Amino acid sequence: MANILPPPSKTRYLTVPDTAAKKDSLKQFSVDEVKQHNKEDDLWIIIDSAVYDLSKFVDLHPGGAHVLLQVAGQDATEAFFGMHRSEVLTKYGRYLIGTISGQKPVHILPTPGTLSPVPYAEPMWLAEGYKSPYYNDSHRRLQKYIREFNDEFVRPDAQLHELDGKRPTPELIRKMGDLKINHMRLGPNKFLHGLDLPGGIKGEDYDYFHELVVTQEFSRCGARGYMDGFQGGMVIGLPPVMNFGSKKIQEEVIPEVLAGRKWISLAVTEAFAGSDVAGLRTTATKSEDGKYYVLNGTKKWITK
Ligand SMILES: Cc1cc2nc3c(=O)[nH]c(=O)nc-3n(C[C@H](O)[C@H](O)[C@H](O)COP(=O)(O)OP(=O)(O)OC[C@H]3O[C@@H](n4cnc5c(N)ncnc54)[C@H](O)[C@@H]3O)c2cc1C
Ligand code: HEM
Ligand code: HEM
């Protein structure tokens, strides 16, 4: 029978002992060695084949010192995962000192930039063994770059502000301006020409599948409300300026908005006109001296 399964995965899902940057120089210990370190001032434990020296952490442990003393020198994998989110290990990776020789980690730790092993959690083109004519190496490089950026910077900001109802942190949007990520939210356009974009992409080569990658990756921050305020106004507000603005307006508005220093919105919808754009009631009339437009009316549902 023909083998219908895709080839074995070459994707590396990072696991617990990979958390510290020092992973290549990690020492190997035996279970018996760890057993010797079972006192309050010399306390090691094993979690998922990794060895942690908690001697300096015992008194700081939010769950108390006594629980750690109960498992001092032992394998505390089950107790640990029963009471903590796995991310705790990433945060406290500094206590990792080695691994147990001959043991392999079984728990998967979400580490910035990695692919999810959960079935259907990733688009098909990222799965090993599948080929797509639409995505090339440049899309893969960009996907990896944005995944890391999203995991490290956007997701924490999104989770925080989804709860407190505040807008994305302005510094984050400015950082995205510096890295030219804002620029990539608007699809291929002439304002990208001459730019070196993340993932080693030339502005001229930027295509709609690159934009799709960026949009899909950011949607992984898991915060639907936050995402609308995450440059949603720019994504729909800047194209009219790019396509129809005078040169003067373009020069004034586009660089500032892309740099994350100014916000822009597209104000079409009104209380009495949504789909029916011809029914707009807001008026713009020239001031008597001809210098300004005087706006009158109401707008509604305008995304910033
Ligand atoms: C989260 C959010 C953010 C938004 N951000 C912005 C923004 O930044 N800027 C902005 O300008 N607007 C924004 N909008 C408004 C949005 O664009 C309008 O909701 C949209 O234009 C539809 O208008 P409406 O809600 O008044 O619905 P209506 O126009 O009242 O439509 C109601 C229903 O009737 C149907 N319908 C309407 N006309 C016809 C027709 N001629 N034939 C057949 N069916 C029809 C529609 O499909 C719809 O199902 C936002 C809306 C939301 C929910
Ligand atoms: C590397 C080892 C460990 C670290 C870094 C650690 C860290 C933490 C942190 C940060 C918390 C606060 C809650 C949270 O953020 O999830 C916590 C709570 C707790 N921990 Fe640990 N811990 C470790 C090992 C253990 C072990 C081995 C046990 C049990 C034997 C344990 C028992 C508890 C308990 C009971 C709580 C309180 C849970 C609650 O109030 O809901 N911890 N720990
Ligand atoms: C006694 C008369 C009225 C009262 C007491 C009243 C009260 C209100 C209140 C309290 C709101 C705020 C709603 C909210 O925050 O959710 C509101 C919104 C609004 N009202 Fe009125 N109103 C009256 C008449 C009118 C009339 C006659 C019109 C139009 C001709 C009108 C148009 C609107 C519009 C467009 C909004 C904004 C709706 C939105 O943002 O969703 N109102 N009104």
Tens digits of residue pLDDT in 254-301: 999 999 999 999 999 999 999 999 999 999 999 999 999 999 999 999
Query: How many CB atoms neighbour CB 95 within 10 A?
Result: 17
pLDDT of residue 5: 41
141 and 257 part of one domain: yes
The enclosing domain of 94 has a CATH number of 3.10.120.10
Mean model confidence pLDDT for the chain? 88
User: Helices 247-258 and 232-244: crossing angle, nearest 10°?
Assistant: 160
- Per the domain annotation, does 146 fall within a domain? yes
Q: Amino acid identity, residue 257?
A: V
259 and 142 part of one domain: yes
176 and 146 part of one domain: yes
43 and 80 part of one domain: yes
The enclosing domain of 206 has a CATH number of 1.10.540.10
CB burial class (10 A; 0-12, 13-18, 19+) of residue 82?
Answer: exposed
- Per the domain annotation, does 6 fall within a domain? no
Q: Does the C-beta of 94 come closer than 6 Å to ligand 2?
A: no
Residue nearest to atom 49 of ligand 1 (CA): 275
203 and 302 part of one domain: no
258 and 143 part of one domain: yes
- Per the domain annotation, does 172 fall within a domain? yes
Helix, strand, or coil (residue 123)? coil
Q: Tell me which of 74, 100, 126 is where a domain ends.
A: 100
- Per the domain annotation, does 112 fall within a domain? no
241 and 148 part of one domain: yes
Q: Does the C-beta of 76 come closer than 6 Å to ligand 2?
A: yes
The boundaries of the domain holding residue 76 are: 16-100
153 and 223 part of one domain: yes
85 and 21 part of one domain: yes
φ, ψ for residue 182, nearest 5 deg: -55, -40
91 and 43 part of one domain: yes
ipTM above 0.85?
no
- 216: tokens are 């899909």
For the segment 200-212, the average pLDDT, to the nearest whole number, is 97
Q: Which atom of ligand 1 is found nearest the CA of 236?
A: 8
Region of poorest pLDDT, from 19-23, 146-150, 202-206, 234-238 = 19-23
95 and 172 part of one domain: no
pLDDT of residue 17: 44
Residue nearest to atom 38 of ligand 1 (CA): 275
Q: Are 185 and 211 in contact (CB under 8 A)?
A: yes
Residue % of the chain over a pLDDT of 90: 70
Number of domains making up the chain: 3
177 and 224 part of one domain: yes
Residue nearest to atom 42 of ligand 3 (CA): 271
User: Helices 208-219 and 137-149: crossing angle, nearest 10°?
Assistant: 30
Region of poorest pLDDT, from 6-10, 80-84, 236-240 = 6-10
Integer CA distances (angstroms), 89 to 10, 17, 262, in order: 25, 9, 39
176 pLDDT tier (thresholds 50, 70, 90): very high
118 pLDDT tier (thresholds 50, 70, 90): confident
Residue nearest to atom 36 of ligand 2 (CA): 63
- Per the domain annotation, does 179 fall within a domain? yes
pLDDT(10) > 50: no
